[in-house]
Homo-oligomer: A and B are copies of this chain.
Amino acid sequence: MAAPAEPVRRGPYAKTVERRRHILDAAHQVFAARGYHAGSLREVAGEAGISLSNLTHHFPTKEDLLLAVLEQRDRDGAAAKAPAVGLRENLLAQARAAGLPESGAVGFRDRLLAQARANESIPGLIALYAVLSAESTTSDHPGREYFVGRFSLLRSAYLQEFEALREAGRLRDGVDPQIAASSLVALWDGIQLQWLLEPEKVDVAAHLAAFLDLVILPQPNLR
């Protein structure tokens, strides 16, 4: 499972890495369109243009494949290779790459809204996460642990941001940074779901901006 990040290797190993990556892209498309339960290895092989036995040589079970898809997404995010295509976890990686402060009052709102706008260009990926995260609540779903961890990671990242804002006197009185952090994650997931169903009607970034404007004060609250 430990596929290296560098794409410019030579020889048979490089080919394996490339083939695996090609399969993961196909799997991602199939799971995004059909969900994990309904998407079959046969469909993924078809999408990748390879045989089923070739596919199961690389990923013996559908569970292996799903976990590899999710890990690949995280690696893409951590490497910040494609900032415009990142998920929310990319915020920190992008901030690091751009030399921005990783948390604090400066730029949180802007970085978040930029990410929301970037997500508009990748509805398939957003749908994948919407379906898989909801499916992961059902019995015996192999992605459950991954999503519990992912939500926990997102909540901590935003908690840091809101705590830094509070220290800067920029959190509205009475706002609990922890509740604000999990609410932001929840609002984002929920409004993306409405947007997936009616993209022309729902503006995700406008909803996030409205929430942040309720929670964050434009000027420090000097008392």
Residues of A within 8 A of B (CB): 32-35, 37-38, 127, 130-131, 133-139, 144, 147-148, 151, 172, 174-176, 179-180, 182-183, 185-191, 193-194, 196-198, 202, 206-207, 210-211, 213-215
Contact = CB atoms under 8 A, between A and B. Distances in A.
Contacts of A147: 197
A95 to B, nearest CB: 24
A34 B135 CA distance: 8
Given A190-B187, A207-B179, A197 B136 contact: yes
Nearest to A145: B197
A213 B215 CA distance: 11
Interface of A is mostly: helix
Most buried by B among A131, A134, A151, A202: A134
Contact of A35 (B32, B37, B198, B214): B37
22 contacts: A34-B138, A35-B35, A35-B37, A35-B38, A35-B134, A131-B137, A133-B134, A144-B197, A147-B197, A172-B214, A179-B210, A180-B210, A182-B191, A182-B207, A183-B210, A183-B211, A186-B187, A186-B190, A186-B207, A188-B190, A189-B190, A189-B193
Nearest to A147: B197
Contact of A134 (B134, B148, B198): B134
Interface centre among A136, A137, A176, A191 (most CB of B within 10 A): A137
A193 B189 CA distance: 9
Can you tell how many copies of this chain the complex includes? 2
Contact of A37 (B38, B127, B210, B215): B38
B127 A194 contact: no
B134 A197 contact: no
Given A175-B210, A186-B190, A186-B191, 15 more contacts: A35-B37, A130-B134, A134-B134, A134-B193, A147-B197, A151-B198, A175-B214, A176-B210, A179-B210, A182-B191, A183-B187, A185-B194, A186-B189, A189-B190, A214-B214
